Amino acid sequence: MKKAEISILSIFLLIALNSCEKNEDIDSQKPAIDLYIQDAFPDNCDTLYFGETFYMKTLFTDNVQLGSYSIDIHNNFDHHSHSTEVTEPNLDPIKSPVNPFVFIQDYSIPNGLRKYETNLPITIPSGNSVGAFDEGDYHFFISLTDKEGWSVQKGLSIKILYR
């Protein structure tokens, strides 16, 4: 009886171990945001202007497949920090926002790409129904996600001013 139990247990273990596949194709790397390509924009400490359009030029890469990206532009009037860059621009004095500019937008990347260079036009309006937007210190925050769900962020300190 013991030989039968051992045989059954052995067969069960053999089946269980063989049914576990090892997937060597698991994506375990985060994508990358390259702000150092030729003509990349914006860069840390750059100035953007209300009422004007600029082109965001950045290179996104991933070892398997890119997914999507988002842009978040918000004020830094309180000097909070989540910048991923080493240098900070000369910050204006701390102030309370009256009518700060806010931009939050998600973008998809065409399927199957491991490399994608943006050339995205973004217009910064001069104001809204409340009035002119507050000029000063802002953050330009880029978030990139690959198809597997890994993400990476870059936070740039910028100024948005009127000409």
| Sequential DSSP letters for 79-125 | ------SS----PPPP---SS---EEEEEE--TT-SEEE--EEEEE-
Domain of residue 141, CATH code: 2.60.40.10
pLDDT digits (tens, 9 = 90+) for 27-66: 889 999 999 999 999 999 999 999 999 999 999 999 999 9
The residues facing 145 across adjacent strands are 68, 151
User: Is pLDDT at 110 greater than 90 in this prediction?
Assistant: yes
Q: Report the distance separating Cα 21 and Cα 19, nearest Å.
A: 6
Q: Which of 22-26, 39-43, 92-96, 152-156 is predicted least confidently?
A: 22-26
58 lies in some domain: yes
Q: Report the distance separating Cα 140 and Cα 82, nearest Å.
A: 10
147 lies in some domain: yes
9 lies in some domain: no
7 lies in some domain: no
Number of domains, the chain = 1
pLDDT digits (tens, 9 = 90+) for 84-106: 776 778 999 999 999 999 999 99
Enclosing H/E stretch for 156? strand 151-161
Rounded mean pLDDT, 109-136? 98
Which structural domain, as residue segments, surrounds residue 153?
Answer: 24-161
